[in-house]
Each structure stands twice: as C-alpha cells, then as structure tokens.
Amino acid sequence: RDSLVAATWLPPTHMYSRYLYDYWAERVAHHSNGTLTAEVELGSPRVTALGNLSELADGLADVSGHFAQYTPSDLPVSNAVEELGMTFSDPRVIIAAATEFNIFDPELSAEWTRHGVVFGSSYATNHYKLVCNEPVTSLAEMKGAKLRLPGRAPAAWANSAGGVTVAFNTNEQYGALEKGALTCTTTTAVDAKARKLYEVAYHITDLPITLFWAGLGHGYNKDSWAELTADQRRAVLNAEADTIATFIVDGTLLAEQEARDSLAEEGVSFHEPTADLKESIEAFRKAQPTAAAEIAKSTFGIEDPESLLDRFQSTVNKWDDLLKDVPVEDKEAFAGLIRQEIYDKVDVEAYGLN
C-alpha cells in the first residue's frame, strides 16, 4: 500500500483541516521518505459529523477523526472521561495525556478495538469562553442571561449560576446573538473570529469554562492499518507526534493569542470575571470528579468509574510535570516528549493488528 485517503467533513478553512490533514500529510511523506502518501480530502462527503466513527470503520476513509460527544452511546468510556473537562486548563497537557491514555489504557483502547478502529492521535480544543453581546462577568449579570453551552456539565453549572440554556445550532448562533435571542455562546477566540461573531458579540469573559478532547484526532481503518508495512506505521506515528505538537502550539495556543489580538482590534473587550462568578465555577469544579463518577456510572454504564477517572487524572498529572519547564513555543521539545513517552513505546509489529 503506498497511499492513504485522509478525509474530514470539516471545511478547508478549519484549523483541523490545516494541521491534522494538510500538515500531517507533509509529515507522512517526510518520515516515510515518500514510500507513503496521504491523499487529503477536506469537506469530504465520505464522512459525516455523526457517522464518522462507523464510516472510518467501514473503510470510506483510511484516516479520519471523530468527536466522541456526537455519539455518547457508542463511546461510553471516552465520554465518561470527558466529564472531567471542566477541571482541566492546559490543552498541551490534555492532548498528550489523552493520546497516551487512549493508546495504553486497557479499558479505553478496548473501546476503539471494539469499533474496528486503530487509535492514532487525540485532538484537544482550547478553553471555551463566554462570547456575549452584553457583558456577562458576574453572577448578577449571569442571572437570566440566555446561554448556548457546549455540553451537559457546563450547562449544569450555568443553570446553577442563574443562566438560562437556550437551543440554537452553530449556524443559528450568529443571528441569535445579533438579535438578542441569545446573550452568550461558548467558544474559543479562534472560532469566534472564524465565525465572525465579533460583528455581533463584543464581550468575551476571560473565564475558562471547559475544553474537549474525547474521540479521535486521527483514527485508522483497521484493514488499511494492517496493509501498511511496519516501517510505514512507524513513519505515520512519527508524523502524528509532529502533528500533535504543531497543531496544539501553532494551531491552538498561538492561534488563540493571535485571534485575541485581532478580536481586540475589531473592538471586542475581554472582561475579567468578578470574584463571585469565579467562585461559582470553582465550587462546581471541586464537585465535578464526584459528579463525573456518578454520571460515568449511571449514564455511561462504567463499572468502576473512580478507577477510570483516577487513571486519567494521574496521566494528566504526569504530563503536567513533564511540560512544566517546556516553553509553550518549543514545538520540537514537545514533539520529542510525545515520541519518547508515547509513540516510541508503541510496538508497530503488534499495535492495532489483532
């Protein structure tokens, strides 16, 4: 096999298209010395948002991603772990920890095996923040504000803090913010810029609410993976390490800073939240591991949720330590750590082959 079809339904303009597909394809060609090429399809009808996991397993694409939140019942372990989302803050730590955990944790990696997909790498978003058409920085301003929230836990917090959760899809949020049917949506600065939300929502509250990582940055179709030679598999994993580092540093952290600067130029104000709002989310975060364990058990049917969540937490702690002294801009060091701690430990003669 000398080529892989890598397809995403995300549009060409999306950061994931740029880094997880175009850039990754370059790295694959580089590490394989041209013995393997990736044919990238962006905005591809081969895969869909909801069906991505099955479509990958069915072989409609050799490589693709999947957001686990879209199929909670298919991926109970992934979704159970992500219940901790609100308690984390550093996307670098999370993408590395999630990649390691998905490959090596028996309970989670079994989930991918069961679906006929070989886990390649994770993704991670930056913090989602409140992007509002009027300042929402305190509990008083939160009261009665109409909010669009990205998940169950953030919605539970917002409701407990007096907000009203409203149903709009991504296409509708611009109009809803403009006309006041929505006070705030919750997203990253990069996304607020890409979707031109700054035209209608000039206030961003500097309060990290949650981030996402559950699912696949890249998964591989099991059969396609098996058709690669061991050297090609090694080359692909090396490309994954470069991709993770570049995607999270250039495409996420630095892009967020750039987006903040350019939003500020567009007249958007970044507000410091008041103490009472911070305390409210802090209190919610403290209770979150217990709440997450309960939901992991009741909604996702995890037998021993405490053990699962503890295992993930200790992986996160490990990466917190490893990255403590690595400057954010140092992609090479980060990629090196990912290779050393994760991909070099993967046995390319066995991984994903049974």
Nearer to another protein by Cβ, of 69 and 274: the residue is 69
The two structure tokens encoding residue 327: 């400057």
Strand stretches in the chain, DSSP E: 3-7, 37-41, 63-67, 117-121, 128-132, 146-148, 164-165, 184-187, 203-210, 215-221, 269-271
Residue 123: count of CB within 10 angstroms of its CB: 28
Q: What is the largest CA-CA distance in the chain?
A: 61
Q: How far apart are CB 351 and another protein at their closest, in Å? A: 23
To the nearest whole angstrom, how small is the minimum distance from the Cβ of residue 256 to another protein?
Answer: 22
Nearer of residues 49 and 283 to another protein, judged by Cβ: 49
CB of 16 or CB of 168, closer to another protein = 168
Q: How far is C-alpha 61 from the geometric centre of its chain's CA atoms?
A: 21
> Which residue's CB is nearer to another protein, number 42 or number 259?
42
Judged by CB, which is closer to another protein: 13, or 317?
Answer: 13
For the CB of residue 253, give the shortest distance to another protein in the complex, in Å: 26
> Which C-beta is closer to another protein: that of 167 or that of 350?
167
Q: Which C-beta is closer to another protein: that of 146 or that of 203?
A: 146
Q: Which amino acid is at 234?
A: R
Q: What angle do CA 29, 68, 146 make, to 5 degrees?
A: 120
Q: How far is the CB of 33 from another protein (least distance, A)?
A: 25
Rg (CA), the chain: 20
Q: How far apart, in Å, are the Cα atoms of 118 and each of 60, 103, 321?
A: 15, 9, 28
Strands 215-221 and 117-121: antiparallel
Write down the least CB distance from residue 154 to another protein, Å. Answer: 8
CB-wise, 25 or 149, nearer to another protein?
149
Torsion angles phi and psi, residue 19, rounded to 5:
-95, -50
Residues 321 and 327: their CA atoms lie apart, in Å, by: 13
Quote the least distance from Cβ 345 to another protein, whole Å.
32
Asked if 256 and 187 touch (Cβ cutoff 8 Å), the reply is: no
Find the shortest distance in angstroms from Cβ 57 to another protein: 8
Closest distance to another protein from the beta carbon of 79 (Å): 9
Half-sphere exposure of 88 (CA within 13 A, CB side): 28
- Angle CA(296)–CA(302)–CA(308) in degrees, nearest 5? 80
CB of 180 to another protein, least distance (A): 6
Q: How far apart are CA 238 and CA 66, in angstroms?
A: 21
199 versus 344: smaller Cβ distance to another protein:
199
Which residues of the shown chain bind another protein in the complex (CB under 8 A)?
7, 11-13, 41-46, 48, 50-51, 54-55, 58-60, 69-74, 76, 144, 146, 149, 151-152, 155, 164-169, 171-172, 174-176, 178-181, 299, 301
Report d(CA 117, CA 239) in Å as an integer. 18
